[in-house]
Structure 1
Amino acid sequence: MNTVGIIAEYNPLHNGHVHHFREAKRLSGADHVIVVMSGPFTQRGEPAAVSKQARTEMALRMGADLVIELPVAYAVQPAEWFAFGAVSLLAATGVVGSLCFGSEAGSLEQLRPLAKFLAAENEQLKADISRRMSLGASFPAAYSEAAAEAWNASSQGSFLGEEEPAAVLHLLRQPNNSLGLHYLIALERLKSGIVPLTVPRTGAGFHDPLQPGSSIASATAVRRLLAEGGSPAPYLPDYSLSILDRELAAGRGPVTLEDFRLPLRHTLLTRSAAELRGLHDMNEGLENRLLRVFSELEPFTFDGLLLGLKSKRYTHTRLQRLLLHTLLNHRREEMTPQQLAQGPAYLRVLGFSAAGRQLLKRMKHSASLPVVTSPSRFNHPMLQQDIAAAGVYATAFAAPQRQELLADYLLPPVMV
């Protein structure tokens, strides 16, 4: 079996994802596809529009053979750890031969040399990132600027022409290039034999508005359309639209951050600054700033809290992730860099096709991690975080039922 891996959120699955899926199979020559997908919460610190079960079904209807959940410990993280967790899972299957991702660059010619250089992150680079952050830069800005300067000062040679300093910085600042670069860095650090492939990103970018007459829109634009009560039909394949319509009709979406306003308010009312200080990513006195802004808000909303916390130093995305860690009670000691560097501890199966069932049989012998199809039969702190996150997510439904709140225990993997 020739198997290609894809890392995705499918939030929701749209025509652009279908294009990427088809190109991944074409470029790799693969006859099977394994998707590593975020669970209920996503890398930008937002809830997925619909449940991980619904999005798994979308992926399987598209043609994916096996969907594996990226643990929330990695899913709600900056690009470095998001990528490392996802690539680690693909490598741990023992059956994935290639990884295909989208990028603005459209080729690996520029990204691979940078990845090899940055994979051996030296102390000078770390110090430069810290220095730039101390001057008020956000981490993404500090990383891209420090990485570009380190590359340009190295003896690696030029591949971008005379304007290399500006070109490298531009390359690193493009969102899909940046994430793809971290996939490549993860492959280097894991010393994985998985072959990287990239597909040029086509159509709408992350922040682009909907284009009249186009069938391609970003997931962000689709979610915005849903929030405004519009129909995303032109931008979704029929099966994805059907599943989305079913979930919305049942009151299971679209889920937004504002749906967690009340539980977050309860958390902030019942936690001291010292308790908040123990949460993941709660540093530099952010707990005091958080409680102060919270006490001044009227009315209390997620958006209002984010607006009050926003500064040049802290990006909107970083603050959204911080509030999710607060909501989910992710303790600092549970997600240290040393722990995250060990990688996920299991392969959690969200769904599979008939061909995926055959992949699972192969993985019984090839996988380097336990393959988990029933969480009730496997115990690990990281899995408990996933189960808790799914339960909290389901509280946002219009009338959450026991089967939805405890779906990880009560529902089998999705089968198509």
Structure 2
Amino acid sequence: MKVVGLITEYNPFHNGHKYHMEEAKRITGADHVVVVMSGNFVQRGTPAIMNKYSRAKMALSCGADVVFELPVCYSTGSAEYFSLGAVSLLNQLGIIDEICFGSECGNVHELTSIARIVAEEPLEYKTLLGTFLKKGYTFPLARTYALKALLPDIDEAILSSPNNILGIEYIKALMQLKSSIKPVTIVRKLAGYHEEELNISPQKGTSTAASKTASISSATAIRKSILETTPLTALEPHVPGEVLNILKEEYSKTFPIYDDDYTLLLQYKLMLETKESLSGYLDLSNDIANRIKNTNISLLTYSQLAQEIKTKQLTLTRVNRAFTHILLNITTASMEEYKRKGYTQYARILGLKKASSYLLRQIQDKAQIPIITKVGNASKTLNQTGRKMLHEDIFAANLYNQVIYHKYNTLIKDEYTHGIILI
């Protein structure tokens, strides 16, 4: 039996994700797909457009065998933390043979050569990185320029494209964890990561949606379409049929959810904080803390405040992540503790395909971390650090569910009573 692992957000699931899942199985020869998916808050520092259980159902409906939740401290972290959290979870399951991810370059050897430098940090690299940081470049740009200086034959686009960057971090994490899991990449098809318009061109050779009119559009474009209240039927060429049905079932009941739905919560939380206390949250520098406290937050929505705080050196994503960590009480000290204790402390199942229940039994037999199927029983198997990490997940889910309730008057079961999604 061969198992491939995927690290995902599915925000929401679309034809490109379906293609990724099918290609991952094809090129690795895997019998099963195990997914690690962000929960209710995602890596760009915002709430997911749809809750984690609905997105897990989408994944299972389109080919996944098991869906695990990436703890929120990692799902909202930098590319490095996001990757370390997800890879450490997959690594500790004990059954994953390969991790397959999409990238713009599609060349795992080039990504590996870059990852090796970033992981080993030779003196020349650290010196170059420090030089560019002193010139005022953001860390991502400084790292790009340092790597380009060391690897002049590498196309600079490889160092700046978002999926390539994540791929490098996945490989680096595998190296740091001394994992036997093999990294595999496929070329990201057609739609760019940040493209904001739906792609209307049919995508040949894609088995998604079983029709010649299937198109691959970015999750960004799909979210934008939903925000603009475009009829959901307009998404038919861009998402699998099973996904479209779930979107229709949940529309104006549990989704869409956007960052501005958290405006009052963020304003309230910021009113309680001082410059000193703000600096204790993950991804929140003294500069961000000062800018927040020097801004009249009462006049701005969540997204407007993020735009006000960002600068040339502080990216919008970095600011959004800082806001999310403030809302969810995720601190730098907590993350340092998790790193010392081996990163991800447990693997919590969100969804399972009934026909793959034997796969879950194998995971439970071989896993090096507790497998959580019922939150109420988790305290019996988790250490203190694991309980702390799980508490963050529960709080994040409760906050997300409260926003759903106040926006749509829909009550979602809490984490102790919500069962695993089974299809």
When normalised by structure 1's length, the TM-score is 0.91
Is 113-122 or 36-45 further displaced after alignment? Answer: 113-122
Residue 414 of structure 1 aligns with an amino acid whose one-letter code is I
For 1:105-157, what per-residue CA distance to the aligned partner results, in whole angstroms no more than 9, with x for missing partners?
112131122222322124553454344334321121122222332x33xxxxx
Are 2:303 and 1:303 equivalent residues in the alignment?
yes
Q: Secondary structure of the equivalent of 2:257?
A: coil
Choose which of 196, 200, 205 in structure 2 pairs with 1:212.
200
Residue 286 of structure 2 aligns with an amino acid whose one-letter code is E
Counterpart mapping for 1:267-282 below 5 A: 267-282=269-284
Q: Secondary structure of the equivalent of 1:11?
A: coil
Residue 105 of structure 2 aligns with an amino acid whose one-letter code is A
Counterpart mapping for 1:16-415 below 5 A: 16-122=16-122, 125-126=125-126, 128-149=128-149, 151-152=150-151, 164=153, 167-208=154-195, 209-214=197-202, 215-230=215-230, 231=232, 232-250=235-253, 252-293=254-295, 295=296, 297=297, 299-336=299-336, 339=339, 342-379=342-379, 380-397=387-404, 398-399=407-408, 403-404=412-413, 406=414, 408-415=415-422
Is 14-23 or 199-208 further displaced after alignment? Answer: 199-208
Kindly tell me the number of residue pairs found equivalent between the two proteins: 398
After superposition, the Cα gap between the structure-2 partners of 1:8 and 1:340, relative to the gap in structure 1 and judged at 3 Å, is farther
Q: Secondary structure of the equivalent of 2:147?
A: helix
For 1:303-349, what per-residue CA distance to the aligned partner results, in whole angstroms no more than 9, with x for missing partners?
22112111111001000100101111212211128727721000111
- CA drift of 1:241 comes to 0.9
Residue 169 of structure 2 aligns with an amino acid whose one-letter code is H
For 1:202-231, what per-residue CA distance to the aligned partner results, in whole angstroms no more than 9, with x for missing partners?
111012222233411000000000000113
How many Å separate the matches in 2 of 1:240 and 1:65?
16
Query: In structure 2, what is the equivalent of residue 155 of structure 1?
Result: none
Residue 160 of structure 2 aligns with an amino acid whose one-letter code is R
Higher relative contact order (CA 8 A, sep 6+): 1
For 1:232-284, what per-residue CA distance to the aligned partner results, in whole angstroms no more than 9, with x for missing partners?
2221111111111111142x111110000010011112222222222222223
After superposition, the Cα gap between the structure-2 partners of 1:328 and 1:124, relative to the gap in structure 1 and judged at 3 Å, is farther
1:136–1:312 contact (8 Å) kept in structure 2: no
After superposition, the Cα gap between the structure-2 partners of 1:381 and 1:180, relative to the gap in structure 1 and judged at 3 Å, is same
1:35–1:64 contact (8 Å) kept in structure 2: yes
Is 9-18 or 278-287 further displaced after alignment? Answer: 278-287
How many Å separate the matches in 1 of 2:119 and 2:280?
30
Sequence identity percentage: 37
Residue 253 of structure 1 aligns with an amino acid whose one-letter code is F
After superposition, the Cα gap between the structure-2 partners of 1:342 and 1:370, relative to the gap in structure 1 and judged at 3 Å, is same
When normalised by structure 2's length, the TM-score is 0.90
How many Å separate the matches in 2 of 1:143 and 1:58?
36
2:100–2:183 contact (8 Å) kept in structure 1: yes
How many Å separate the matches in 1 of 2:169 and 2:73?
17
In the alignment, structure 2 segments of 5+ residues that lack a partner are: 203-214, 380-386
In the alignment, structure 1 segments of 5+ residues that lack a partner are: 153-162
How many Å separate the matches in 1 of 2:265 and 2:51?
19
Q: Which runs of 4+ in 1 moved over 3 A?
A: 122-131, 399-404
Q: Secondary structure of the equivalent of 2:81?
A: helix
Residue 242 of structure 2 aligns with an amino acid whose one-letter code is Y
CA RMSD of aligned residues (A): 1.8
1:81–1:340 contact (8 Å) kept in structure 2: no
Residue 31 of structure 2 aligns with an amino acid whose one-letter code is D
Q: Secondary structure of the equivalent of 2:403?
A: coil
Q: Secondary structure of the equivalent of 1:378?
A: helix
Residue 50 of structure 2 aligns with an amino acid whose one-letter code is V
